[in-house]
Amino acid sequence: MNSTVLNLDHDHVELLIGNVETAADANAKAVQNTVLSPRFYTTDFAAMDRLNVEPVRAEWDIMMQEYEGDNNHDHFQRDAQFAEEVKTLMPQLSPEMRQEFLDFLISSLTSEFSGCILYNEIRKNIDNPDIKKLMTYMARDESRHAGFINQSLKDFDLGIDLGQLKRQKDYTFFKPKYIFYATYLSEKIGYARYITIFRQLEKHPDKRFHPIFRWFERWCNDEFRHGESFALIMRANPHLLRGGNLLWIRFFILAVYATMYVRDHTRPLLHEAMGFESTDYDYKVFRITSDICRQVFPIEVDIDHPTFRACMTRLVELSVANAAAKQRGGLIGLIGRAVTATQAVFTFGRLYLVPVKKQALPDDIRMQPVW
């Protein structure tokens, strides 16, 4: 396999992720909206209210029982060993590694909280009993996830003020179908990311540099189930999965993959500490996500295509060049940013034209988190 390995040196990483020293820095980082940072969303609540899941009623009811059973109700509590491990392990992190880990925690928290807010707003603004119940359960899970990460930020005295974040961050409006594509993908990719880390550290416990990773296995089953919910909604409304919508699906898969790839390449030390290399980690995650997405998307992007791989690498380089131009400032910096942004759009266009694989959807919609 032609895996293009790309390593950024620390100066480039710092350029891309910046430094977090104080709680104000951490909060500012969570609030900021860049191409790479997790966003907050709002949608058309009346259209959400009209959703019908009757065509998948049997699967839906089983899933709702799982939510009700709440097998993770006792999971997001720290044990005594947690504090001990934090006390011993955190002072051992190099300053560079500490920045990458903080970046990881803050962006993970922001995306967990993004789900929490969206699901909660939908819940409050609709009457449809099926969707309302689902949103209640998913908001419950995401609020636990966000709160659990925030405790780890508080260990560094860098807790995020979630109320303030909710008020200060910009919201992006997405029509429901875009919410389904994007949120389905981000739940499933979230599962794939967490389980890949968990399995790696299960094999190499000496590389578990923070206790939070011990929580990832049961945690990612929540994300898996959230993804299942959107899979059922889309399969119940099959017009979302054919015709011109396939162009949107292709766009969202590539946008989600590219964003993750560029963002992960700003954290080479974090992956190295876990015994990964960022590129290999990302392709493992792409592969799991693509396997799962066969339950719902009739097309699949070709992650082994040489052009796909070349474009991903190019997007990282352009992201570094864009950040360097921004730091330089002035007219030259402005021109540099415009040029690199145009090149990134062009590269994304090339990525979009890589031929996709087509597949028939399985009769059995539900999947199990077996990775």
Binding mask 152-171 for Fe ion (x = CB under 5 A): --------------------
162's tokens: 């979630």
Question: Rounded to the nearest whole angstrom, what is the least distance from the CB of residue 114 to Fe ion in the complex?
Answer: 10
Write down the least CB distance from residue 199 to Fe ion, Å: 18
CB of residue 149 vs Fe ion: minimum separation in angstroms? 9
Nearer to Fe ion, 222 or 300 (CB): 222
Segment interacting with Fe ion (CB under 5 A) among 5-13, 48-56, 187-195, 275-283? 187-195
Q: What stretch of H or E contains 172?
A: strand 171-173
Q: Are 132 and 123 in contact (CB under 8 A)?
A: yes
Nearest distance in Å: CB 180, Fe ion = 14
Segment interacting with Fe ion (CB under 5 A) among 95-103, 191-199, 215-223, 268-276 = 215-223
**Which residue shows structure tokens 């799962």?**
292
Nearer to Fe ion, 73 or 242 (CB): 73
Q: CA-CA distance, 303 to 238, in Å (whole number)?
A: 25
DSSP per-residue string spanning 195-242 = HHHHHHHHH-GGG--SGGGGGHHHHHHHHHHHHHHHHHHHHHSGGGGS
Backbone angles phi, psi at 160, to 5 degrees: -95, 135
C-alpha span between 125 and 30 (Å, rounded): 26
CA–CA distance, 91 with 113 (Å, rounded to integer): 28
The residue (of 85 and 223) whose beta carbon lies closer to Fe ion is 223
Residue 120 or 340 with smaller CB distance to Fe ion: 120
Nearer to Fe ion, 223 or 300 (CB): 223
Listed in sequence order, the residues at least 6 apart from 79 whose beta carbon sits closer than 8 Å to its beta carbon are none
> For the window 133-152, what string marks contact with Fe ion as x by the rule CB under 5 A?
---------x--x-------
Total residues interacting with Fe ion, rule: CB under 5 A: 7
- Out of 12, 208, 210, 226, the only residue in the binding site for Fe ion (CB under 5 A) is 226
Of 107-115, 123-131, 148-156, 228-236, the segment contacting Fe ion by CB under 5 A is 107-115
CA-to-CA dists, residue 248 to 193, 243, 245, 251, angstroms? 23, 10, 5, 5
What are the start-end ranges of the E strands in 17-104?
A: 40-42
The nearest distance, CB 184 to Fe ion, in angstroms, is 10
Distance CA 371, CA 303 (A): 19
Quote the distance between the C-alpha of residue 83 and its chain's center: 27
223 touches Fe ion (CB under 5 A): yes
| 176 vs 190 by CB, closer to Fe ion | 190
Q: Could you tell me the smallest distance in angstroms from the CB atom of residue 107 to Fe ion?
A: 13
Based on the shown chain and the rule CB under 5 A, indicate whether residue 112 belongs to the binding site for Fe ion: yes
The stretch near Fe ion (CB under 5 A) out of 57-65, 217-225, 262-270, 294-302 is: 217-225
Residues at the contact surface with Fe ion, assessed by CB under 5 A: 112, 115, 142, 145, 187, 223, 226
